Amino acid sequence: MTDTSTLARVRIIAGEKKGHRIAAPKGITTRPTSDFVRETAFNLIGPVDGATVLDLFAGSGALGLEALSRGAERATFVDSNRDACRTINANLDKLQLHATVLCQDALRALSTDRDTYDLVLADPPYDYDAVARLAPHLKRVLAPDGLLVYQSAARDEPRVEGLTVRTSRKYGSARLTLFEP
């Protein structure tokens, strides 16, 4: 396998794999969630022990890997970029974690997925109109007591019909919005 990634400054913040560095895909199309924003997100999310996780627009897989390190039972990573999928698989191998990686468009993956998830992590490109396109599917795949964590540009205030905003906070150029049924 050719090296399609760089180690950047991405590391697992907590849990069984705390401190391990992970690779992030090269290029400008993927922007790994910073350590600070990931740590803050998981402080807002709370415990994830035994959770089923869906990581959409996964990039390096940092969010889903963090959830697995913190005790999530299983995770599914979705990204349409082949380099990102290779990087996620390499990160899973390095950390000796097991998960499903779907190398396909998030909308396609969601439209065929019949599972529900306790935690859905969505970090689409900031110029992607994900909320409008994905909203009906996000509500359907979210477990009745689940949580959707949606990262957007700080200036955006996403809404998902049928879900309630638990909190929405800005961190530099990013906004984290947590939704619940």
pLDDT digits (tens, 9 = 90+) for 150-181: 999 899 988 888 999 999 999 988 899 999 99
Indicate whether 26 pLDDT > 60.
yes
Rounded mean pLDDT, 111-124: 95
User: Which stretch of 27-31, 105-109, 110-114 has the lowest confidence by average pLDDT?
Assistant: 27-31
pLDDT at position 54: 98
Residue with tokens 């959830």: 67
What fold characterizes domain 5-180? Rossmann fold (3.40.50)
Separation CA 30–CA 59 (nearest Å) = 6
Rounded mean pLDDT, 21-33: 71
Domain ranges of the chain: 5-180
The β-bridge partners of 148 are 120, 179
Instruction: Return the closest-CA partner of residue 37 out of 158, 163, 152, 159.
Output: 152
State the pLDDT confidence band at 8, using cuts at 50, 70 and 90: low
Q: What are the helix (H) ranges across 32-95? A: 35-45, 62-69, 82-95
Q: Report pTM.
A: 0.91
